[in-house]
Amino acid sequence: MEAIQNVLVVTDSHMLPSAALGRAASLARLTGARLWLCLVAYEPVIAMADRSAHPSIYRLAQDEYMGERERWLEQRATSLREKGLKVHHEVIWSASMYEAIVAKAIEHRVDLVIKEISREHSRWRHTSADWKLIRYCPMPLMLVRPDAHSHTGCIAAAVDAFQDDGEGAAFNDSIVRTAKWLSKTCSSAQYVVSAFPWRHVPSANEARLNALLEQASRDHRQAFARLCDRLQIDATARYHLVGSEGPVLKKFVEERHVDLMVLGSHYHSLFSRLVIGSTAEELLAELPCDLLLVKPAGFMAELAQHLDLPALARRYCPAAPMA
């Protein structure tokens, strides 16, 4: 992310205030980016009427439901325009939020998608649609807490020091470059962190196993130092952690008052998630800060193997020219 020209903001379908909109407006004021406000609406009861009621009744109910949200979103957009921002808005009827957002993000060639994390019983939670957006969104995806400030005060980039050659090095570069650009744009402090995933494993030869883990931890620390040297990270901004990724990163975020963590996120099929898990998804449930998920180069080609992108374009962007 060298610059931001277009930002897609996922607004609340229940027409509630959104921290994501505040964050997007703050970035737009700093960068001059154009905002695309997108509200994906769907009401199952109305959808059932399409099959059980007269077509005119269904259309009337849908038009009233969508019209209320259109008026609400227009008010939000007008308020931002009056502050000098460039804003477009759109309400979409769809039972699949992530498909609609992916289609619109590709159509508008956005540089960033911003969405608020929902909150329930005093804990952050992600809905099924959120998880799908996390996995499928091809652009950097910023997930904002409901109580987040519009300004980001401290940013950290989490890198994989053991994967710093070839494609892995390019991915680490992208994560750190994104964090650097945001910290410069927002006048924020910035850290680079990597965690060695030390886990206690009971063994008959525990002393030997611990010696191997200690050597691996030293190797990881040296690899992290080489990565930071290569990316010209100041010594005071480097943090090498040891322990299970979730707990040690959570402690780091709390102690250093990190507002936003930049993470790399690969596509994982259901099978691969069950077998090897997804570090980014595990951290989403752990970290008490906003998150920015960055996809690797070539992700769009991978995405095309799992989603019918031309079909999505026809469904959600009928007026857009075909690539």
| SS3 track for 223-267 | HHHHHHHHCCCCHHHEEEEECCHHHHHHHHHHHHCCCEEEEECCC
Query: Residue 157 sits in a domain of what CATH number?
Result: 3.40.50.12370
Residue 288 lies in a domain: no
One digit per residue, the tens of pLDDT, for the chain of length 323 reads 668 999 999 999 899 888 999 999 999 999 999 999 999 999 888 888 766 667 777 888 889 999 999 999 999 999 999 999 999 999 999 999 999 999 999 999 999 999 998 655 334 455 677 888 888 999 999 999 888 777 778 999 999 888 888 888 999 999 999 999 999 999 899 999 999 887 666 665 767 777 888 888 899 999 999 999 999 999 999 999 998 888 899 999 999 999 999 998 865 544 444 333 355 566 777 788 999 999 988 899 989 988 999 999 999 998 765 44
Residue 270 lies in a domain: no
- Examine the domain organization and report whether 138 and 10 are in the same domain: yes
- Examine the domain organization and report whether 4 and 147 are in the same domain: yes
Q: Is the distance from CB of 99 to CB of 313 less than 8 angstroms? A: no
Residue 98 structural domain: 1-151+295-323
Residue 287 lies in a domain: no
- Examine the domain organization and report whether 179 and 233 are in the same domain: yes
- Examine the domain organization and report whether 169 and 191 are in the same domain: yes
pLDDT at 111: 96
Number of domains in the chain: 2
Residue 279 lies in a domain: no
- Examine the domain organization and report whether 28 and 144 are in the same domain: yes
Order of strands, sheet of 6-10, starting from the edge strand that comes earlier in the sequence: 86-93, 34-41, 6-10, 112-116, 141-144, 290-294, 260-264, 154-158, 189-196, 238-242
SS3 at position 199: coil
- Examine the domain organization and report whether 1 and 116 are in the same domain: yes
Residue 42 lies in a domain: yes
Q: What Rg do the C-alpha atoms of the chain give, in angstroms?
A: 22
* End-of-domain residue from the set 258, 286, 310: 258
* End-of-domain residue from the set 234, 258, 282: 258
* End-of-domain residue from the set 206, 241, 258: 258
- Examine the domain organization and report whether 74 and 168 are in the same domain: no
Task: Give dist(CA 80, CA 259) in Å, integer.
Answer: 24
Q: Which amino acid is at 209?
A: L
Q: What is the pTM of this model?
A: 0.89
- Examine the domain organization and report whether 146 and 181 are in the same domain: no
191 bridge partner residues: 156
- Examine the domain organization and report whether 17 and 2 are in the same domain: yes
Give the CA distances from residue 257 to residues 19, 153, 167, 239, in Å, rounded to whole numbers and listed in that order: 19, 9, 31, 14
- Examine the domain organization and report whether 61 and 201 are in the same domain: no
Q: Please choose, from the candidates 95, 102, 174, 93, the residue with its C-alpha nearest in 3D space to the C-alpha of residue 135.
A: 102
Q: Give the 3-state secondary structure percentages of the chain, helix then strand then coil, rounded to 5.
A: 50, 20, 35
Task: Give dist(CA 156, CA 252) in Å, integer.
Answer: 10
Residue 286 lies in a domain: no
Residue 290 lies in a domain: no
Q: Is the distance from CB of 74 to CB of 82 less than 8 angstroms? A: no
Task: Give dist(CA 260, CA 182) in Å, integer.
Answer: 10
Residue 168 lies in a domain: yes
Q: Map tokens 């080609």 to a residue.
A: 301
- Examine the domain organization and report whether 138 and 163 are in the same domain: no
- At what angle are helices 44-52 and 55-81 packed, to 10 degrees? 150
pLDDT at 311: 95
Instruction: Find how far residue 170's CA is from the centre of its chain.
Output: 19
Strand 141-144 to strand 290-294: parallel, antiparallel, or no bridges (unpaired)? antiparallel
- Examine the domain organization and report whether 16 and 81 are in the same domain: yes
pLDDT at 273: 40
Structure tokens at 107: 């159509």
